[in-house]
Amino acid sequence: MLTKRSPRLTRALKLGLGILGLGLVVIQFVPYGHNHTNPPVTREPRWNSPETRELAARACFDCHSNQTDWRWYTNVAPISWYIQHDVDDGRRRLNFSEWDKPQREARGAANEVQRGQMPPAAYLPVHPEAKLTDQEKQILIDGLRTTVANDPPPPAQSTPRGR
């Protein structure tokens, strides 16, 4: 048996949905999350093999390089805010496109993949190509270790304290 909604509840529901819809439209004008730039690649590591590079490109480059694939949904707030934050943070920690600069997490990259923390689980449903088989994962881990050992990024410059 269907129950009859009260006109008051129906009006409140319509008003709530209208406010939510208007809010979603208004947040599209927030400037953060729309600056989808890919700065130039200044230097990639000297990869130990083309396969390592291909696996890194599939699983890591969207957040850890200047070769991000900005898909259509990266322009829709609030998703765009989340993705912009992740890309900015990923590039700051490790950027395979700026190997001529210090990369603070280069040595730990293979361990992150080995522990299953990279690529992040939330990334995989919309990027199925980044899901690696166990064999691909091991090739990437070994390749990252060899690449970083054979071609480490420059060390971070230390600054004197107290000046």
Residue 162 Cα to chain centre, angstroms: 36
| Token pair 């259509």 in the structure block, residue | 72
Mean pLDDT of the chain: 90
Nearest to 37, CA basis, from 102, 73, 88: 88
Give pTM, 2 decimals.
0.80
Mean pLDDT across 90-114: 97
Residue 43, strand partner residues: 98
pLDDT in tens, 78-93: 989 999 999 999 999 9
> 51-55, 56-60, 80-84, 129-133 — which is least confidently predicted?
80-84
- H-only helix segments in the chain: 7-26, 50-59, 61-64, 79-93, 109-114, 134-150
Q: What is the pLDDT of residue 94?
A: 98
